Amino acid sequence: MEDQFERIRQISSSLAGSMTALRRELHRHPELACREQETRRRMLAWLDEQGVLKKCTVREPLIGTDLVLELPGTLAGTIGLRADMDALPIKESSDLPHASQQPGMMHACGHDGHMTMLAGCAAVLVRMDMPRPTVRFIFQPGEEEVCAGADLVEAGVCRGLDEVYALHGWPGIERGMIASKPGVIMAAANSFSVTCRGVSCHGAVPEKGKNPLFPAAELITRLGELHRWIAREHGGVVSPCSVTGGESTNGIPETAVVRGTVRYLAEETGELIKQEFFKIIRELQITSGMPFDTDYRQRYRIPVINDPDSVRKVLDVAGALAGADRVRVLERHSMVAEDFSFYLKQVPGCMFLLGMGEQHPGLHSDRFDFDDSLLETGAAVFAGLATRR
């Protein structure tokens, strides 16, 4: 087994230059959620160049731009490894040579790095002749905003999988450290938008209209109370994040809109928050005499929950590859959401983090750039997971 890991280390390291080139090419050409056609093409081209396609079957896309490959194994079982493909509608502020060439878009969440490490893993595995289960490489579109992972799982991407893994680069954790935790590692996220419909009139004669700013203000106060209760009792979050309505100092607007996010660590808490939320909405419509249009979205409705055995496997493999001092168990979950939760609802597995350093710009920062020196570590850990039983 140790020889095998030594081979994985050597091959990953020999691929470092080629992975860096791919990662930078992807960074230069970001594409937004579910429009990753070029990205898909680039991945296929690199995998072909590395001799991966000759040994894999490439599946027909299930939801448009997904790329799913299967590398047959000699042992029973199928392991899934997943990377996300999409960039964000953020304008890159760095002047790196490989900075985004698409105005207003960039890989600010490191998905360029995730795809590269997964492709690197495939390139490692096709160079190794050894007994291992079948490996399914899943390049998933639309992780950001649209939660396409839910659609891909719904379309059957997990069918036949025995275990599934994904990794996310993580600023704030020591560089090169592999970290995870059993149970909840990331929260579920819902969002809401409430439009209070009043009647516009001159601010001097409010009795001639209905001022929607009052119920909007009350809604914010009530959501603050709901948050305090949910945070105390269930570790969840209810955050109003935006309020709009009115443009002048003397005109009462027709509408006021309150928007925000909800986070929680158990699906039951999500249902509880939703119930309480709509209770407040109903009460305020009655007391204000104004109708509300309420849009409550539960796309990322499932928290990311790791299977303890799979976490142990990740930490074992990473420890064997990178050294026991390079792995750690996280003490706390993150309130960030990730649609990998839908995979883990169907198949036992683990989302793990690859530390990018305390000083690294945060996820979704306009200065984010995946650290290429970490690509070989990620590729090696993925490959290790695919070979260890």
| Site residue total, Zn ion (CB under 5 A) | 1
CA distance 361 to 328: 22
Restricted to residues 40-69, the positions that interact with Zn ion (CB under 5 A) are none
Residue 141: burial class (beta carbons within 10 Å; 0-12, 13-18, 19+)? buried
Beta strand pairing status for 255-264 and 183-197?
antiparallel
CB of 127 to Zn ion, least distance (A): 28
Non-local (6+) Cβ contacts of 187 within 8 A are: 236, 237, 263, 264, 265, 303, 304, 333, 334, 335, 336, 337
- Judged by CB, which is closer to Zn ion: 166, or 194? 166
Token readout for 120 is: 């690197």
C-alpha radius of gyration, the chain, whole number: 24
Beta strand pairing status for 78-84 and 304-306?
unpaired
- Judged by CB, which is closer to Zn ion: 134, or 140? 140
CB of 282 to Zn ion, least distance (A): 34
* Site pattern 91..110 for Zn ion (x: CB under 5 A): ------------------x-
Contact between residue 372 and residue 187 where contact means Cβ atoms under 8 Å apart: no
CB of 111 to Zn ion, least distance (A): 6
Is 115 a binding residue for Zn ion by CB under 5 A? The answer is: no
- Judged by CB, which is closer to Zn ion: 109, or 117? 109
CA distance 230 to 276: 10
Q: How far is CA 213 from CA 87, 152, 163, 218, 276, in A?
A: 36, 41, 51, 9, 21
- Judged by CB, which is closer to Zn ion: 214, or 368? 368
- Judged by CB, which is closer to Zn ion: 124, or 304? 304
CA distance 143 to 276: 28
CB of 169 to Zn ion, least distance (A): 8
CB of 267 to Zn ion, least distance (A): 22
Which residue's beta carbon is nearest to the bound Zn ion? 109
Determine the Cα angle at 381 with ends 377 and 386, to 5°: 150
- Judged by CB, which is closer to Zn ion: 70, or 86? 86
Residue 151: burial class (beta carbons within 10 Å; 0-12, 13-18, 19+)? buried
Restricted to residues 340-379, the positions that interact with Zn ion (CB under 5 A) are none
CB of 338 to Zn ion, least distance (A): 7
CA distance 339 to 326: 26
- Judged by CB, which is closer to Zn ion: 33, or 226? 33
CA distance 295 to 89: 23
CB of 218 to Zn ion, least distance (A): 33
- Judged by CB, which is closer to Zn ion: 133, or 355? 355
Non-local (6+) Cβ contacts of 27 within 8 A are: 98, 99, 100, 106, 107, 112, 369, 370
CB of 202 to Zn ion, least distance (A): 45
CB of 346 to Zn ion, least distance (A): 20
Restricted to residues 8-37, the positions that interact with Zn ion (CB under 5 A) are none
- Judged by CB, which is closer to Zn ion: 47, or 109? 109
Interface residues with Zn ion (CB under 5 A) are 109
